[in-house]
Structure 1
Amino acid sequence: MDIPRVFICYYPGETPDAGQSLLRQLFNDLRAAGTEVITDAGRNTDEDFYQYITRSLPTCQWIMFAQTAETLQHPRTRAIFTAAQRLTEQQQSEILRIIPTPTETVQAPQEWSELNTINIALDYPKALEKLLFILSLGDTGSLHTIEAPEQTRLPKRISHFSTPSPTYDRPLAPPPRMAVLRDMPYTIGRKNLMIGSIALASLIVLASVIVVLINVFRPQPAPPPPNLVAGNAYFTSSELFNSDGTKGANDGLNVTLNNIAPPPANKSYYVWLLADSQASEANTVLMGKLPDISDHSATLSYVSPTHNNLLALGSRILITAENSSIPPSTPTTDKSMWRYYAEIPQGNSGSSAMNMGGDNGDSMNMAAGTQLDHLRHLLYQDPTLQNKDLNVDLKGGIAFWFQQDIQEVMLLSRDARNKNNPATTKYDVTKILDYIDGYKYVAQDVPRGTKLLVDQKTSRIGLLTLDPEHENPTGFDKLMGHHLTGLIEAPQITPDQKQQINQINVNLNRIVDMLTLIRSDATKLATNPNDKTTLDDLYTQGCNAYYGAYDPGSGNRMGGAIWLYDHIQHLSSFTVKKYG
């Protein structure tokens, strides 16, 4: 059984009390029962905190909120709760509320009151047992002595898949016709019996004809279509990046199935990542055997041991039923054992023909690229980033480098503000402009004779496009926009995906606006590094571009490069259906 991973949002007060002691005991008891418990752990800076929850929360099956005054008042709680709600909507995590006092001494917000809740102060042993039951860690041998959890407190699983109709009691069948005849009195004469039999047979034939005619001419309701959707799968990133972005991105795959039948006797389901439909099967990856199926549901999480980009290796998923005791090395050739299948829409790949240059006649032909092409160019590898004729040699996808360069800009803006030293400020803002302008255009924003501080290969493509008519290749903003437009125009894109792409485009435009402000601030500081107000604004805009703009109303950060990459990655998802 997989070890449950739980994030507990809890910020203790300065004065110890009974609630703190109870929560500490809960932490220890959960860990002793085999649960991996993680918390914010008092990370000092906002940057560290946002990076931490971005990476850690999606790995947790449960996110718990301790209802204490300090936790409710802490500014980070709102950010964690918003992230938890998003993960719940994506069916990645579930939320629980923990009350450590006999009564609700602290008024919780309305959205907390609707959560599944456990009060650990009223009867701690029973509350712990109930909690372990929910986490599937309870001792099944003693569960019969436990009061069953209230239905309203059980975790609410969100499912987009229909379930079979409940069974019903059929009405009693009428007695057989021969039984009626056998029960007739023997006093009836043979002649009368024969006449009666003929009449009865005639009536039966006539009734049968009438029934047939009624059924022929009466409109028949269409039978309900079978539910072929079995679940979904999506890529994840460990973010254990190497220097060129070829590892650590899209190196994991989560498979969630909610509508599957049990495998045949002595067989188990095996999940495979297959190469493209027109490629060889050399890249087939066995991601593992599905665990025991419960209530038609099962999940599987796979991470590449070498952290290779799985989107580069394959674009299809196959689930086969095979020998339980001997793990197969390749999928069975017996297609009757191919049970579930999914693929990212693809066709004759136009990757080699897709030119992602500037808008000077070299821009890509949108019709040439499939949905899979555009996703790979954004998330794995793009020809423009490896165009030797343009002196560009960057591995990794466009979205990866866009996020990485914005992260560098944010870190440089923080360094400049924290050190508040004119020499350091000039150095940092020059590097910021190298990233934003690109080495070919940065000279217009820095004092004459300023050296390029960023490697020319890295700065060959700027974050912003400064000369749309002549710049070749264009900046990352235009490259991103080209592929997002290509995705919207892809033949098999769904309405839901179109809506997601439109949201991504809106946030991309916001990031471009923030980068424009950063460029303006950096240009001023390159000649006047002592401008404290501009230095503060540079840092604010840097954080906004990377983490998202801070919303004082909700206390959250909205959009930003992290959000952008996550949502682009979410587009490379699979709908798993019954094979054939």
Structure 2
Amino acid sequence: ASEMTAALAQALKVPVAEVLLSSHTPLPTVPPPVQVPTAYNSLSATTQDTYIVSPTLTRNSAVQIASGGAPTVQPQIPSGTVAASVPPVPPVPPPASRPSRRRTFYIIGAVLLLVVLLSAGLVSFFVLPGLRPSPSGHAFYVSSGQLGDGAQGIADQMQIDLQNIPAPQAGKSYHAWLLGDQDPKRGDDLLVPRPVKPPILLSKNLPVSNGTVHFLYSGDSEHNNILSNTSRLLITEEDATSTGNAPSSNHATWRYFALLPQAPIPGDAAGFNALIHIRHLFYNETDIKVLGLYGGLDIYVFRNTEKILEWAVSARDDWHGDTTSDAQLALIRNQFIRVLDYLDGTLNRHVDIPNSVPFLADTQIARVSLLTVDPAKQSPPYFSQNPPGDVDHMQLHVGQVAKATDLTPEMRQRAQHILTALSNLGGKNGWLTNVHNDAVQLFNMSENAVQLRQPAAGALLDDMVTKATYAYIGKLDPTTNTVQPGVTQIHYDVQHLATFTLTTKVPDHL
């Protein structure tokens, strides 16, 4: 991936370390397995190549991260991010003139981000300390990205990786089954009936090669969300010619088993277990039922933050100081409105923008805000109509997952890591909070064309792009040389909260 990144960067005449990796890749796909690093907290820009980090972004400047020091700035392109696997390179001379359409870099960046993430192999799943393959292995839900109007394309596939597996006996084969919940709960919060009905036969012939299994269940033709109604995984050794639609009732054929955490969480106000909270993140959210939104909180935080970055970049690219035309100012103003549509939500945007200003973003998606901007109205008595911002709402669910008593140590640490990443987005000094503050100031300045052409407006535009990029991709902390993760890493980590750890310890009954 680093070689391809370098080649594309060279073709664009952009320093390798400065290529902006802004993605429009809706969901991750399955990568090749990677070697397990020894420690999660040892991630740095010089040793890991999954996290994407971005220095401060300014118009016509490329930023180089100096080892152990502060960023140094040389005139170059409008913005940049650093792929952690690529070492810094010396700055290059400025171009003769400002690029006419810098959004091309963001399109190329989307391809580069996808390449880096895939080639790194979803390293976030493998970098937690202690997350070593057990004698049996792991399995996790994967999203194909074939998105529909509901939860299609989200958690619609299953990756199974096993080690130290003996070949099946002659005439036998390994069958992989996804099963329903251990203690099914009522589905009062469901928007629609669950799209799948267990048991689901993932394979009746898991391939074993040199004691390992690496198998992807690619889902059904509708790309239905299989996490919606499954939470246990059983592998049996049965007749290769078996045509049964359920696991054998013969306990002697059961070989490997795992289940997602389903014990009640002490003190949980709703009486939920970790599995239910995970489904709210990755399948269906109770408090947005009345709003008609599908797919869980994670996908909306991921996609809406991506759109905010897109709009921020568009506004900054159309600004040319005192030579900015009236038509360009109008386009820029519209981007401020769209950013606030998503950050505030349609029910709360009046806090920052007069009701007389029309909504420009998708009003259905913008019904739920990314941030909690009106705490009095986005409080428990109003949750059914005006829930808290998605960032705060995700923190609530992940925080409850972290309290579950039946988590593996790896899942608990992953939950804590997600909470840390979410704190980078919201709160007083969060990156999305800074984007919100910049957008409000810029919208107010847009009432006066002269004011919006001033250098102060340009500085705010730069800051809005910088913070939106951090929120989406993450940021390198030059003090510790570690990455502060953003939405992209949150998206991967949330997906792997629902991880099966398979062992030979099978239950007495299903």
TM-score (norm 1): 0.60
Q: Cα offset for 1:328?
A: 4.1
CA–CA distance in 2 between the matches of 1:555 and 1:302?
38
The aligned counterpart of 1:439 is 346
CA–CA distance in 2 between the matches of 1:89 and 1:536?
30
Counterpart residue type for residue 248 of structure 1: G
Query: Which residue of 542, 551, 570 corresponds with 2:496?
Result: 570
Does residue 476 of structure 2 align to residue 504 of structure 1? Answer: no
Q: Which runs of 5+ in 2 are unaligned?
A: 11-15, 36-47, 49-65, 67-80, 87-114, 186-195, 320-327, 447-451
Contact 2:179/2:198 (<8 A) preserved: yes
Q: Cα offset for 1:558?
A: 4.0
Residue aligned with 2:421, SS: helix
**Could you give the per-residue CA deviations for residues 68-99 of structure 1, whole angstroms, max 9, x where no partner exists?**
xxxxx99647268898667468469xxxxxxx
Q: Which runs of 5+ in 1 are unaligned?
A: 1-5, 16-41, 66-72, 93-157, 162-228, 351-363
CA–CA distance in 1 between the matches of 2:396 and 2:140?
23
The aligned counterpart of 2:32 is 60
**Could you give the per-residue CA deviations for residues 93-143 of structure 1, whole angstroms, max 9, x where no partner exists?**
xxxxxxxxxxxxxxxxxxxxxxxxxxxxxxxxxxxxxxxxxxxxxxxxxxx
Q: Cα offset for 1:478?
A: 2.1
1:119-138 equivalence runs, <5 A: none
Contact 1:237/1:250 (<8 A) preserved: yes
The aligned counterpart of 2:431 is 514
The aligned counterpart of 1:296 is 211
Q: Cα offset for 1:51?
A: 5.3
Contact 1:417/1:536 (<8 A) preserved: yes
CA–CA distance in 2 between the matches of 1:292 and 1:448?
60
Does residue 435 of structure 2 align to residue 527 of structure 1? Answer: no
CA–CA distance in 1 between the matches of 2:417 and 2:436?
24
Counterpart residue type for residue 238 of structure 2: E
Counterpart residue type for residue 250 of structure 2: D
CA–CA distance in 2 between the matches of 1:393 and 1:89?
32
1:540-559 equivalence runs, <5 A: 540-550=466-476, 558-559=484-485
CA–CA distance in 2 between the matches of 1:289 and 1:51?
36
Contact 1:232/1:575 (<8 A) preserved: yes
Counterpart residue type for residue 420 of structure 2: V
Query: Which residue of 419, 426, 443 corresponds with 2:318?
Result: 419
Q: Cα offset for 1:295?
A: 4.1
Residue aligned with 2:347, SS: coil
Residue aligned with 2:85, SS: helix
The aligned counterpart of 1:110 is none
The aligned counterpart of 1:283 is 198
Residue aligned with 2:340, SS: helix
Q: Cα offset for 1:334?
A: 2.0
Q: Cα offset for 1:468?
A: 2.7
CA–CA distance in 1 between the matches of 2:330 and 2:24?
29
Does residue 85 of structure 2 align to residue 78 of structure 1? Answer: yes
Contact 2:28/2:492 (<8 A) preserved: no
Q: Cα offset for 1:277?
A: 2.2
Residue aligned with 2:6, SS: coil
Query: Which residue of 386, 389, 393 corresponds with 2:292?
Result: 393
The aligned counterpart of 2:254 is 338
The aligned counterpart of 1:403 is 302
Q: Cα offset for 1:279?
A: 4.7
Contact 1:251/1:308 (<8 A) preserved: yes
Counterpart residue type for residue 11 of structure 1: A
Query: Which residue of 449, 453, 458 corresponds with 2:360?
Result: 453
Q: Cα offset for 1:296?
A: 3.0
Query: Which residue of 368, 371, 382 corresponds with 2:271?
Result: 368
Q: Cα offset for 1:373?
A: 0.5
Residue aligned with 2:496, SS: helix
CA–CA distance in 2 between the matches of 1:505 and 1:299?
31
The aligned counterpart of 1:312 is 228
Q: CA RMSD in A?
A: 3.7
Determine which structure has more spread, i.e. the larger CA radius of gyration: 1
Does residue 379 of structure 2 align to residue 464 of structure 1? Answer: no
Identify if the C-alpha distance between structure 1 residues 91 and 266 changes in structure 2 by more than 3 Å, giving closer, same or farther.
farther
Residue aligned with 2:470, SS: helix
Identify if the C-alpha distance between structure 1 residues 60 and 282 changes in structure 2 by more than 3 Å, giving closer, same or farther.
closer
Identity percentage over the alignment?
A: 25
Q: Count how many residue pairs are aligned between Structure 1 and Structure 2.
A: 389
1:44-443 equivalence runs, <5 A: 46-47=20-21, 50=23, 55=28, 58-61=30-33, 76=83, 78=85, 87=122, 90=125, 159-161=132-134, 229-244=135-150, 246-279=151-184, 282-305=197-220, 306-326=222-242, 328-346=244-262, 365-366=268-269, 368-386=271-289, 388=290, 392-420=291-319, 421-443=328-350
Q: Cα offset for 1:7?
A: 8.7
Contact 2:265/2:274 (<8 A) preserved: no
CA–CA distance in 2 between the matches of 1:575 and 1:366?
28
CA–CA distance in 1 between the matches of 2:200 and 2:487?
31
Contact 1:78/1:556 (<8 A) preserved: no
**Could you give the per-residue CA deviations for residues 393-415 of structure 1, whole angstroms, max 9, x where no partner exists?**
21110122121211121111122
Q: Cα offset for 1:454?
A: 3.1
Identify if the C-alpha distance between structure 1 residues 538 and 365 changes in structure 2 by more than 3 Å, giving closer, same or farther.
same
Contact 1:312/1:380 (<8 A) preserved: yes
CA–CA distance in 2 between the matches of 1:238 and 1:533?
39
Q: Cα offset for 1:379?
A: 0.7
